Amino acid sequence: MIVTFPHMGDMSIALKELFTGLGRQVVLPPPISKRTLELGIKYSPETACLPFKINLGNFIEALEQGANTIITCGGVGPCRLGYYAEIQQGILKNLGFNFDMIVVEPDIVDIIKQLHRVAFKRNFWEVYLAFRLALAKIYAMDSIQRKVNMIRPREVSVGKSDFIWRQTVDVIDAAENLSTLRAAWHKGESELDEVKLKSGTRLLRIGVVGEIYVMLESSINQNLDWRLGNMGVEVYKTMYLSDYINGHLFRKREYLKKFKYLADLAQPYLGHYVGGHGIKSIAHAVNMGQEKYDGIIHVFPFTCMPEIVAKNILPKVSNDVDIPVLSLAFDEQSGEAGIVTRLEAFIDLLRYRRVKHHLA
């Protein structure tokens, strides 16, 4: 069994750790490139959303490199993701690839069951250790990324925090146990603490809401965090991988409490589940408006159903809580220039608005 899985942001580092720890050989799909996209588009239905196409490209490239077992996620709708594994499996079989696909449902019991299937000559304790280290890597990376998003717009020498970020990710990737991981994490954080910052001015604060894949995968969202950071904006992403795991898999009490709170905020606008992160996009927009953020950027893959529902509700939210919202749909046609122009114009809008509020 040679295992592979789709990319999503830096998730591959954790999954590689997990499956290696379970005693399996892992073939990572090559980094998402133009070729990945081209392969994905060529063999996907035209109206499938971008995550489908990229995942398919990842699978093809990994199978070409010798993987024979694909591990991917299922889903319970109404988001179309729940069907993706089946359709991708069909497409890949038609292309003549020979492989097994293990579909993990977003449910902790199913995950443990499936992990047990993958584990090779490992006892329960060893499975637990692998799982723990993989999780710790996710927490470490998310924590550092949050910090980078705060420092990037303030750093005196541009690119410093990104340099530290990339170096730290490499060390985290290589860490073989919890203590080397912790050392890498602390080293990364303390290096970031030492980055020289510009003093003074209160920066614009923008919250990013929307669909998780587009939010986390920088090759798809045109490096949104990085672009905004370099335009002098503090970026708060409302979703990181660790949030998803804690909330949806472990169902930790603090997260469930937060979900309840968010659902209540969204209630006047959207009272029922529409799949994906639709409700959360609305709720976070309300929340961030109340917390006096300067603006919201709403990101989603073109044709994403839950987020299209959210998109059509957001103008009302924007009006009610007085916060500007920019919706951006991403697909394989999304040109860099178009995104940059909109981001720049949006930031100008927020700056003028702030000056006006200040004068008022």
Stretch that binds another protein, among 37-45, 49-57, 130-138, 154-162 (CB under 8 A): 154-162
User: Closest Cα to residue 102, out of 114, 116, 87?
Assistant: 114
Check residue 124 for interaction with another protein (CB under 8 A).
no
DSSP structure class, residue 247: I
Is residue 65 part of the contact set for another protein (CB under 8 A)?
A: no
What does the per-residue mask of binding to another protein show for 304-333, with x meaning CB under 8 A?
Answer: --------x--x--------x----x---x
* Nearest alpha-carbon partner for 300 in 317, 281, 316: 281
Angle made by CA atoms 248, 254, 260, in degrees to the nearest 5 = 70
Cis preceding-peptide flag for 31 (omega within 30 of 0): no
| Structure token digits, residue 121 | 């000559």
d(CA 318, CA 295): 9
**CA 103/CA 110 separation, integer angstroms:** 9
Beta carbon of residue 333, minimum distance to another protein (angstroms, whole number): 7
What is the rounded CA–CA span in Å between residue 138 and residue 110? 20
| Interface region with another protein, contact rule CB under 8 A, candidates 14-22, 46-54, 234-242, 346-354 | 346-354
Cβ 307 vs Cβ 277: under 8 Å: yes
Under rule CB under 8 A, how many of the chain's residues touch another protein? 28
Q: Which pair of structure tokens corresponds to residue 74?
A: 């299922």
Q: Which of 95, 112, 156, 158 binds another protein (CB under 8 A)?
A: 158
Here's the x/- map for another protein, 159-198, by CB under 8 A: it reads as: x--xx--x--------------------------------
How far apart are CB 313 and another protein at their closest, in Å? 10
Nearer to another protein, 77 or 268 (CB): 268
Minimum CB separation of residue 242 from another protein in Å reads: 23
Matching residue, tokens 């080397």: 180
**How big is the CA angle at 214 (ends 22 and 146), to the nearest 5 degrees?**
75
Q: Is 338 in the site for another protein (CB under 8 A)?
A: yes
Interface with another protein (CB under 8 A): 31, 33, 158-159, 162-163, 166, 223, 226, 302, 312, 315, 324, 329, 333, 337-338, 340-342, 344-346, 348-349, 352-353, 356
